Amino acid sequence: MTTSIQADQACLRRTVDFTREHDTATLLPLLLPGLDGPELRALLERCRFAHTAVLVFPPDLATLDDQLADCGLVVESPPQPSVVVRQRLAERHRRDPAELEVRILRPAVLGLDGTRREVEVFALAVPPGSALTGLVEQERAHQHEAHLAFEVERPDPLVLHGLRAVLARHGAHADGGGYNPHEDGTVLYFTAPTGSKTDYRRIELHVAGDHPEVLAAHLDEYRSRQPAETLLRLLTGAWTTQALASAARLRVPEALDTAEARGTEAVAARVGADPQALATLLRYLAMLGAVAEQDGGWRLTGVGALLRAEEPASMRALALMYGGPFYRSFAELDHTVRTGETAFDHLFGENHFDHFARDPELAEQFDQSMAASTRMFEPLPTHPVIAAAGAAAPGPRTVVDIAGGNGELLRRILTAHPGLRGVLLERPHVIEAARRSLGSLGERCAFQVGDFADVPSGGDVYLLSRILHDWDDERCREILRHCARAMPAHADLLVVERLLPADGSPSLATAWDLHMRCNVGGRERRADHYARLFADAGLELVGRAALPLDAAVLHARRAAVPAPAEASRLS
């Protein structure tokens, strides 16, 4: 037996002995000094000592079988791929995950108390002369993957957040984790606190199922303690954008299925790509959660399915827009920050509305991206103002959608409320696409070609959905004045926008504020900012309701004393 095999064998024996000799009640106080009373009882009620983990490096899996048998371990199930440990090793040693085929085996061990536990064996086969020798030496010396695992019973997000908080109070810190689709299990790793009375420096909470929100919070905490890794991940965000956009352009999602895995060669042939280069892209997409590796092939996840053109909630057009024209203009962000000017205009020599209007393909892509965004605001058709208009009698009420694109939002509202009629105000080239989209509504929907100065009068509900954030304050006031002049005294105005948080908390609106300034020339605003713009136009903010993705619908009506009208025209 070589020295390396002997080292693995000794490590396996120590792991087996430790697993037999300890149970949950004795182990938790050793790991978390000072843990007692209610918190210890809470952990004992929710967690059980499940396994001790060890990473070994046999020259081949047959040798590993012999080593396990020598320790009295019987493997009842075939090895499974270890997504989490493979990724951790790849990041730690700057390796391609594809060259690290880490497997998991879980032979059972009977504890002294008669409880069945396991030894979790991570195995990376490293034959003599392998280029991975340096990796093996470092891992054996530091035992990064050795840990003690506790199975969380009856998990839910509240319980998991509570368990994380208890461990943190006793000095355990987030140390990574992940979701393994092969076993449908989520793992949360922690470093054991200083003063822990075992030789194991890592703790794992193992949770059945996928818990993305809890895992995301846990990983955010871990990365906050790893500033270099955090910065590197932030710097490579552009790669993510282009990987998703490239997959959409190549029609990779259309070549995959959500249920059945397909091999790289077959997918490459279907989309006309180089198989090796496509495999690299697919591995990266798997890391992003857009595809999943299964049975030697690839299948599409729910996230990746949104990149399909024919998916009902498709976001393909957004991927193409963010990975296309807007991606290029974002490279000129420093121009916007230095001068306050719009980077898109600086790069292309004109604003994005004019640029897209002159290119039919880009114009259609932009309209489709706006329609895809509209689908994110599903609750809007149920807003009390719209619901009341739909139920009002006698006679139908009219909803006026100002600059409503291809009419996707108006279509959803009119479909939800058969008693409503609609008017879509848009530019000539957009109206044609809208007629096709809204044709099934027949005479219930009218179309008016024009700009903001042509807002039709006599409507009951007026919509401005993600329009005001395209413009500076003065233009917003002009748009709102045109609306106020057209609105009867009883009419309502609903404005859909993302709102900047008043307390500076993290929000999608903050990201979109940067996007609007760089690419469009507009900006996002706080609710009180919009209230002032309304007041300047003779309107009053009377209500506000939350929408998904940090958006809101602001409800305004004509003020009792209207502000002085201005005759300026918006084009």
Residues 163, 231, 509: CA angle, nearest 5 degrees: 75
Which residue in 344, 349, 342, 339 sits closest to 329, CA to CA? Answer: 344
- At residue 468, φ and ψ (nearest 5 deg) are -65, -30
Q: Are 98 and 123 within 8 A, CB to CB?
A: no
Kindly give the pairing relationship between strand 445-449 and strand 420-426: parallel
Kindly calculate the radius of gyration of the chain based on its CA atoms and give it in whole angstroms.
30
Question: Which position has the token pair 């020599």?
Answer: 349
Which sequence positions are flagged as catalytic? 469
Query: Token pair for residue 360?
Result: 């039919």
DSSP letter at 516 equals I
Structure token pair of residue 354: 């004019």
Pair of tokens at residue 356: 């897209």
Measured N-to-C along each axis, helices 237-250 and 227-235 cross at an angle, to the nearest 10 degrees, of: 40
Q: Taking a C-beta distance cutoff of 8 angstroms, is the pair 481, 569 a contact?
A: no
Q: How far apart are CA 4 and CA 59, in angstroms?
A: 9
522 within 8 A of 471, measured Cβ to Cβ: yes
- Under 8 Å between Cβ of 115 and 51: no
**DSSP-assigned letter for residue 144:** T
Alpha helices in 251-394 (DSSP H): 252-255, 264-271, 275-288, 302-305, 316-322, 325-330, 333-339, 343-348, 352-357, 360-374, 384-391
Instruction: Tell me whether strands 461-465 and 397-402 are parallel, antiparallel or unpaired.
Output: parallel
Q: How far apart are CA 133 and CA 1, in angstroms?
A: 18
Alpha-carbon dihedral angle through residues 504, 505, 510, 511, given to the nearest 10 degrees: 150
Going 247 to 253 to 254 to 257, the CA torsion angle's sign is positive
How many CB atoms within 10 Å of residue 504? 8
Give, in order, the Cα–Cα distances in Å from 533 to each of 396, 452, 474, 541: 31, 16, 9, 10
Q: Side-chain half-sphere of 79: how many Cα atoms within 13 Å?
A: 17
